[in-house]
Amino acid sequence: MMPKEPREQQQIDPLAAALAWVVPGLGHMFIGDIRRGVLLLVAIHLMMLTGLLIGGIDVVDRKDDRWWYLGQMLAGPIPVLVDRYHQSQKVVIRNGRTTKLAPPPPGEDVPFEPSLARVNELGTLFVTLAGMLNLMCIIDVVQHPKRERRHAAGVVGSVEARER
């Protein structure tokens, strides 16, 4: 019988988790899993961009869709910045007072038009799913040991295991 190797100590790395939130996929790159990090970076940002292209900036709205926004902001700072811009377009500041955006006079352009019905729902869903996917990635990056430690343990798939 072969003696069992001691199980690796998993250490929670708050820096990797923070990096995974700031730029989805960067946490995996930080722990040495470059390929997975790049795939996550592309997938999460593509899902978020698709939602914004489908429904416009109106899909990220912390005031009207508070519960959806909580899921969306898990995708990093981009939905937070989109919401700040969206909220700035919904109000007009006159004489130091903030008021709701009134319909423009005939012939003038509207700063943005809210998306309606299914278009808004689909866009909101896409951006929220990007946030949920990033939450799973943050949990994954926190639970994985750094790449060097995984190779040293001789995990199947590593260079040492292939040479045997």
* Cβ atoms within 10 Å of 146's Cβ, excluding its own: 15
The span from the CA of 24 to the CA of 72, in Å, is 13
- Asked whether residue 152 is assigned to any structural domain, the reply reads yes
More confident residue, 86 or 23: 23
- Asked whether residue 6 is assigned to any structural domain, the reply reads no
Three-class secondary structure of residue 111 per DSSP: coil
**pLDDT tens digit sequence for 42-62:** 999 999 999 999 998 889 999
Tokens 């343990």 correspond to what residue? 153
On average, the pLDDT of the chain sits at: 79
pLDDT at residue 77 tops 50: yes
Structural domain for 99, as ranges: 14-106+118-158
Q: Please give the tally of structural domains in the chain.
A: 1
- Count CA atoms within 13 Å of residue 146 on its CB side: 9
- Asked whether residue 3 is assigned to any structural domain, the reply reads no
For residue 123, the surrounding DSSP H or E stretch is helix 117-143
pLDDT for position 148: 55
**pLDDT tens digit sequence for 90-118:** 765 555 555 565 555 566 665 566 666 78
- Asked whether residue 91 is assigned to any structural domain, the reply reads yes
Strand partners, 93: 98
- Asked whether residue 51 is assigned to any structural domain, the reply reads yes
